[in-house]
Chain A
Amino acid sequence: MAVMNIVQAVNSALKCALEEDKSVVVLGEDVGVNGGVFRATDGLQKIFGPKRVVDTPLSELGIAGVSVGMAVNGLKPVAEIQFSGFLYAAFDQLVSHAGRIRTRSRGRFSCPLVVRTPSGGGIRALELHCEMPESFFAHAPGIKVVCPSTPYDTKGLLLASIKDPDPVIFLEPTRIYRAIKEEVPDNFYAVPLGKARIAKQGKDVTIVTWGAMVKYTLDAVEKIKNDIDAEVIDLRTIYPFDSKAILESVKKTGRLVIIHEAPRTAGFGAEISATVSEKGLDLLSAPIVRITGYDTTLPFPKLEKEYIPDEARIIAGIKKVMAY
């Protein structure tokens, strides 16, 4: 056991995976000599050599497409896309190929790749460095989407993603990369995909969120704990998502708030909301409330705090669902 933050947990997971499985290859821009711009791959090339921890040319489409080929031919590529906005450049290979190889080959081939990327705003960075693209990929058939929020889960979910037989997009919460520290086992362990985590038990209202928003939701909920006893569900996996855990909680509380950073329209909150309406309308004693980013591009740093759901908006949203 060692105390780690989220970046260190990523590093530790990659190290375990590279040690445990000779077919694992880490690749991406600046991941080798430099150890990644956030140091997520720091020191790995020294240990495992430049053939397993590979600095690539600058091409996200290239990185994704080459990973597809590697994965089909027996490797387990774990690609880093330097910032989430550059996933857009890789989109074609991921959507047109990674998610389709298994079904297109009638199960003869598979594409067990992992694409990890720092994601989300609140870090005062340049444009396209802060996107939350979970919905794009949740919407892409054949691809799993994971979004951890703690160091322990980061390592366990990343190792589960690498073990997974299908392609996984792994969205790391940049804003809290170094904000949370906790004990993380040094050895290999997996946190299963598709299972949510109850981050805080409660009985008055169910809040579903993921990634960096989990921390800020917990902080906000703490502020109003004397008045409202909220249950916070950390979704952990966006696709396939744990609708059972959400419905069970809503059964208890009768109220649902969904919080995410990405734009509201067709954001993943809409899917959760639709699912609960379809399967649990009778459980609800108030309309569902979504607290999200707006249908705009994420503003540059001077205004980004106006966009990302903050404590005031989270509390207001919870109060709204409680007041109904």
Chain B
Amino acid sequence: MVKKILAKFEVSYLQALDEEGNADQQLMPKLSEKEMLRLYEMMVLVRAFDDKAFSLQRQGRIGTYLQIKGQEAAQVGSAMALKDDDWLFPMYRSAGALIARKHPMHLILAYYGGDERSLKAPEGINNFPICIAVGTQTLHAAGSAIASSLKNEKSVSLVYLGDGATSKEDCMSAMNFAGVFKAPVIFLVENNQYAISVPRKTQTASETIAQKAIAFGFEGIQIDGNDIFGVYGAVKNAVEKARAGKGPTFIECFTYRLGDHSTSDDAARYRLREEVAEWQKKDPLLRLEKFLSNQKLLTIAKKEEILEKAKEKVEEAVEAYEAMEPPAKDDFFKFMFKEMPEQLKEQHDEFMRSHL
């Protein structure tokens, strides 16, 4: 009879920038001052966009919106670690990542405003359309990554998903494929502690989400998702590893959704105000601001200038969104097929006749 331990695992946690804005030099990614400011500017822009989008929804100028507030570091830090021709698979709460990936802001507003034309990615930037069905996008990222390696291309795929999405079989299958095929893919989980009202504890009995990767044969780490340097560094490493043919990485960003799940949700029904207040102290933007001020990279005047510039850009985007010509009434027929089948053409003709 033999009884022995076959494997043992550890799950590491990483934080480069603490809540007081102190950086651990050993864990800091290589970033110039300019690059650090660039990350900050992008986070400010995303926050300004998010606040504006929320208020536009309240005024009925866009439809349902899903706030990012609190998750800016996870989104900006990861998206900015990619190249344009890397593949990005966003979800419904990825506006921050999309902004960082040059998706025009007025089109992001148009998306939440219910305009299908909004989803077309700018030429040369491989942003997949926003995914609504939770977790399903993970498989596409795995597939896209497998394609990149089959084609001997250096591009990697990065997919956003929530803690809730890790319960979907799609996600487990995506991780399995990624592991088996050593695919150059990065799973970026924004663990914001809730899937609508369902707390992380109810979602999985697993101690961390990061450790799920271990079962699929690749690395999973947890990072402080409110620490932009931690996120940026971890994703940068994962990207390099993927480009070098060393396979997938699973990154759990431990963060918090400061707003409601969506503009149709009321989080007061299921979580305590004190809990939110605790997390407000860990705001990723404040933390970076403290760091940059301490480093004398950010004066009050500069901070105001950056904020003003961000707000201006957002206002311009709102104007551009509201100035968009309405879509043609038959717009939704246009892209069903490359060539409209006869049967659909008949319906289209009937539609056009009834709209004369």
Interface residues of chain A, those whose CB is within 8 Å of chain B, are 29-30, 33-35, 37, 55, 57-59, 61-62, 85-86, 88-89, 124-129, 264-265, 294-297, 299-304, 306-307, 312-313, 316
Contacts and interface: CB of A to CB of B under 8 A. Distances in A.
B113 A302 contact: yes
Nearest to B164: A58
Interface of B: 63-64, 92, 113-116, 132-136, 164-165, 167-169, 195-198, 202-204, 264-265, 269-270, 326-327, 329-333, 336, 343-344, 347-348, 351, 354-355
B354 A299 contact: no
Given A299-B331, A303-B332, A264 B347 contact: yes
Contacts of B332: 294, 296-297, 299, 303, 306-307
B203 A57 contact: yes
Contacts of A29: 195-196, 198
A264 B24 CA distance: 62
A267 B116 CA distance: 24
Nearest to B330: A306
A313 B64 CA distance: 28
Nearest to A293: B347
B131 to A, nearest CB: 9
Contact of B133 (A128, A294, A303): A128
10 contacts: A33-B270, A55-B202, A58-B134, A59-B168, A59-B169, A296-B344, A297-B332, A300-B115, A302-B116, A303-B331
Contacts of B134: 58, 86
B218 to A, nearest CB: 22
A291 to B, nearest CB: 10
A189 B110 CA distance: 46
Contacts of B326: 302
A312 B116 CA distance: 24
Given A37-B265, A57-B204, A89-B133, 10 more contacts: A34-B196, A59-B169, A62-B169, A124-B63, A126-B92, A297-B332, A299-B331, A299-B332, A303-B116, A303-B331
Contact of B264 (A37, A86, A301): A37
A316 B354 CA distance: 9
B331 A126 contact: no
Contacts of A37: 196, 264-265
A55 B63 contact: no
Given A29-B195, A126-B132, A300-B116, A58 B165 contact: yes
A291 B153 CA distance: 49
Contacts of A312: 354
Contacts of B195: 29, 58
A116 to B, nearest CB: 18
B342 to A, nearest CB: 11
A37 B197 CA distance: 9
B94 to A, nearest CB: 13
Given A59-B169, A303-B329, A126 B336 contact: no
Contact of B347 (A33, A86, A295): A295
A58 B167 contact: yes
A288 B296 CA distance: 77
Nearest to A306: B329
Contact of A128 (B64, B116, B132, B197): B132
Contacts of A126: 63-64, 92, 132
